[in-house]
Amino acid sequence: MAHPALALRIAIAALALAATPALAQAPRAVDAMRGATPVGDESRPPPLGNVENKDVRRERAYSMQPPTIPHKIDNYQVDLNVNACLGCHSRGRAPVTQAVAVSVSHYMDRDGNFLATISPRRYFCEQCHVPQVDAKPLVGNGFVDVDEILSRPSAPAAKAK
């Protein structure tokens, strides 16, 4: 072997290959969305859920969480030409539509300077804001709200008192 680095890589690959069958035989699904379908086969996706369209604002799980969208956004065009969300959520349209106007934080660039228009890094709303489907969560979630933690008797704040 002329290249020791190459030899090392081959050795790692061989080890990985040797280890793979043991993983594949495990009954545990590799991917929660694929289920037990082997990698070579096409999985049958579950039917699409209905997007909640109640127009009632949901509680945020934590203070800085981007609010989820409480309505359908099917075929909303967000591209170089137009941002359909701003048709209602822009500063100028919000009074008419009674939608929540875009927050001032969205006018800031990464250095904290305020811009006249929405910062380009905030332009694509769906990077952070998403609609919700009434569906069973794929994985468990042990998240506890910070308010609840603070109100526990063992919390530092309570001890200080």
Partner 1 sequence: MRWLIALAKRYWATIRRPSVHYSLGFLVVGGFIAGIVFWGAFNTALELTNTEAFCTGCHEMRDNVFVELKRTIHYTNRSGVRAKCPDCHVPHDWTDKIARKMQASKEVWAKLFRTIDTREKFVDHRLELAQHEWERMKANDSLECRNCHGADYMDFTRQSPRAAYMHGTYLVGGQRTCIDCHKGIAHQLPDMGVALRSP
- Residues in contact with partner 1 by the rule CB under 8 A: 53-56, 71-72, 74-75, 77, 79-84, 86-87, 90-92, 97-99, 117-118, 123
State which residue, 55 or 145, has the beta carbon closest to partner 1.
55
Helix residue ranges, H only, 26-141: 86-89, 94-97
State which residue, 82 or 144, has the beta carbon closest to partner 1.
82
- Name the minimum Å distance from CB 107 to partner 1: 9
- Name the minimum Å distance from CB 134 to partner 1: 15
Alpha-carbon distance of 72 to 13, in angstroms, equals 47
Tokens of 21: 């069958």
Query: For residue 147, how far is the Cα from the chain centroid?
Result: 22
- Burial class of residue 14 in the structure, from the number of CB atoms within 10 Å of its CB (0-12 exposed, 13-18 middle, 19+ buried): exposed
Question: Can you tell me whether residue 147 is helix, strand or coil?
Answer: helix
Query: For residue 159, how far is the Cα from the chain centroid?
Result: 36
- Name the minimum Å distance from CB 78 to partner 1: 10
Helix residue ranges, H only, 86-138: 86-89, 94-97
- Name the minimum Å distance from CB 93 to partner 1: 8
State which residue, 115 or 155, has the beta carbon closest to partner 1.
115
State which residue, 63 or 98, has the beta carbon closest to partner 1.
98
- Name the minimum Å distance from CB 97 to partner 1: 7
